[in-house]
Structure 1
Amino acid sequence: MNIGEKIKQLRTDKNLTQPQLAEAIGIEQSYLSKLENDKSIPSADIFQAILKAFAIDVGSFLDGIDEKIIHRQLRQIPDVANYLNAGVAYKIHNIKKWLYGSAAACVIGLTLIVAGEKNLLFSSVRYNYVSPGVVLPNESADILDSFTFRNSLDRKVNAKLISYDEAAKLLSDFENERSRPSYQLTDRYQGQRFVAPVEGGSRTYRLTDTVVVQSPNNRHLTLLGSVLTFAGIFGFFVEFRLRKI
């Protein structure tokens, strides 16, 4: 659509005749006829008068007019130039936001990939601790040695502190319950040894070895980082294609 067609369309929509519109604008009918037939281009004052006559803004008037015609014939009008410049500024602002978002996605994505591959957030080292058994209160740690425990029972029996039946029961509990080893595989280093309270006593855990495993959390970080990086690159590509269009 050209400028004259737009003026004629607006006039028709308002059910105005050429004389009526010419009077509202403050121009001769012959000049309005030239405008509608694209034999003349409105000046800045006439353009403002046209907008006022139709009670519309610049954007509404330009809507539907060929962009090449707008830039070639109307851009010299200050109101049109300001409108176009504002539109360009808005587009640039949106482009910047899109590019910043894509760049942020790439940076975060690559950071997560490195963190996942280098095990920066979640350790891949596992510490294996073992406890040989449960130590009761007021007992020494070496009581867990079977020979030492038997000698302790024998001394108590000889001293008539406990009976043979009680000693047999204590030995059975020791062999079936207390001397059962307990293992802990953890990603938290707790020293070469640590004591953990348990029902009836405590267990002393000693570090036996360390193992390296692939943490699922690191795999998830790498996957998430790959998705974000791809999204960022795709965002740059889409922005480039849309700008060309």
Structure 2
Amino acid sequence: MKFGEYLKNRRTELGWTQPDAAAKASIEQSYLSKLETGKSFPSEDVYQRLVEAFDLDTETLVGVLYPAELDRLREIEDVRKHLLQRAHDTRTATHRWLYAGLGALVAGGALVGLAQIDRGGNAMHYTYQSPGVILTGESSSVFDDLDDNPALTARADEQTIFVPEMRGPSFTENVPEGRREWHLVGANAVLIPAKFGWALVPGLALIIGGLGCFFISWRRP
């Protein structure tokens, strides 16, 4: 909006004619006409008269006038003060958006990196079985003939374990009562979920949000 247009609209709101408004501001009607048509701009003294007579709010005025109009009014101290304050506020807000964007990018990148540490996938699991605990002094084949020895049948305690690494066709494990011999009986592929897979989605969301903050800071006037 032009300054003259703003001044004329304000006069109309107050219900004044040009002669009435000129008299209240202690200026010539011809000068007020030039102000309203944009042929002239007020000096410091005239502007203060207009502020008092028209009850003008400089902050509102600065917010609605075209930049070219504000440049013509920049020599007025009150206008210049509000322009400097608005520029400061704009820089402050821009910096906040930039800091927010940077923080979001850093946090998002950290989460995406965390999600890449353990991506999961297919892995082999090996199945081992042990028929029971072999007591000290007994041979490794003590459980081979369970059907012929009721005492061994009572002791039998078959267990199955799944391990992620191959330990050969068999391996021995010491237990409090003696030892167990584990024998490989099979292997199968197992899908291992990513340990930190949950971090990928919020990480990408933060990165997108950070870029959005940079865009907002760039588009701010």
Q: Report the TM-score range of the alignment, normalised by the length of the smaller protein.
A: 0.5 to 0.7
Q: Under a length normalisation based on structure 1, what TM-score does the superposition of the two structures give?
A: 0.61
SS in 2 for 1:16: coil
Structure 2 residue aligned with 1:51: 51
Corresponding residue number in structure 2 for 1:221: 199
2:60 corresponds to 1:60: yes
Q: Classify the secondary structure of the residue corresponding to 1:40.
A: coil
Aligned mates of 1:55, 1:77 — CA distance in 2: 17
* Displacement after TM superposition at 1:64 (Å): 3.8
Contact 1:75-1:81 within 8 A present in 2 as well: yes
Q: For 1:15 and 1:180, how far apart are their aligned partners in 2?
A: 99
Instruction: Confirm or deny: 8 A CA contact 1:133 1:182 kept in the other structure.
Output: no
Alpha-carbon distance between aligned partners in 2 of 1:59 and 1:96, rounded to the nearest angstrom: 23
Query: What is the CA-CA distance between 1:47 and the residue it aligns to?
Result: 1.4
How many angstroms does 1:223 deviate by? 4.1
Which residue does 1:13 correspond to in 2? 13
Q: Tell me, in whole angstroms, the C-alpha distance in 2 between the residues paired with 1:101 and 1:194.
A: 58
Structure 1 CA distance for aligned equivalents of residues 196 and 208 of structure 2: 18
Give 1:101 deviation, angstroms.
1.3
Q: What is the alpha-carbon distance in structure 2 between the residues aligned to residue 53 and residue 133 of structure 1?
A: 104
Indicate which of 154, 158, 168 corresponds to 1:179. 158
Q: Tell me, in whole angstroms, the C-alpha distance in 2 between the residues paired with 1:30 and 1:146.
A: 122
Residue 188 of structure 1 corresponds to which residue in structure 2? none
For each residue in 1:22-76, what CA deviation from the matched residue of structure 2 results, as whole angstroms up to 9, or x when unmatched?
23222233332332233321112221222222223113334543221212x1011
* TM-aligned CA deviation for residue 132 of structure 1: 5.0
Aligned-pair identity (%):
28
Return 5+ residue gaps in structure 1 as ranges: 151-166, 186-192, 196-203
Is contact 2:111-2:199 (8 Å) kept?
yes
> Using the alignment, how far apart are the partners of 2:88 and 2:12 within structure 1?
34
CA distance in 2 between counterparts of 1:110 and 1:142 reads 60
- Letter aligned with residue 195 of structure 2: N
Question: 2 CA distance for matches of 1:237 and 1:32?
Answer: 44
Q: Aligned-pair distance for 1:214?
A: 5.4
**1:113-135 CA distance string (max 9 Å, x none):** 2222234xx9xx9x999895898
Compare the two structures and name the one with the higher strand fraction. Answer: 2
In structure 2, what is the Cα distance between the partners aligned to 1:130 and 1:82? 82
CA-atom RMSD in angstroms:
4.5
C-alpha separation between the residues in 2 aligned to 1:19 and 1:134? 114
Q: Structure 1 stretch 13-22 or stretch 37-46: which is displaced more?
A: 37-46
Match of 2:69 in 1: 69
Partner of 1:95: 94
User: Any unmatched runs of 5+ in structure 2?
Assistant: 165-172, 185-189
Is the 8 Å Cα contact of residues 51 and 61 (structure 1) preserved in structure 2? no
CA contact (8 A) 1:116 1:221 kept: yes
- Aligned residue pairs total 204
Q: What is the alpha-carbon distance in structure 1 between the residues aligned to residue 68 and residue 209 of structure 2? A: 35
Q: Distance in 2 between matches of 1:108 and 1:10?
A: 51
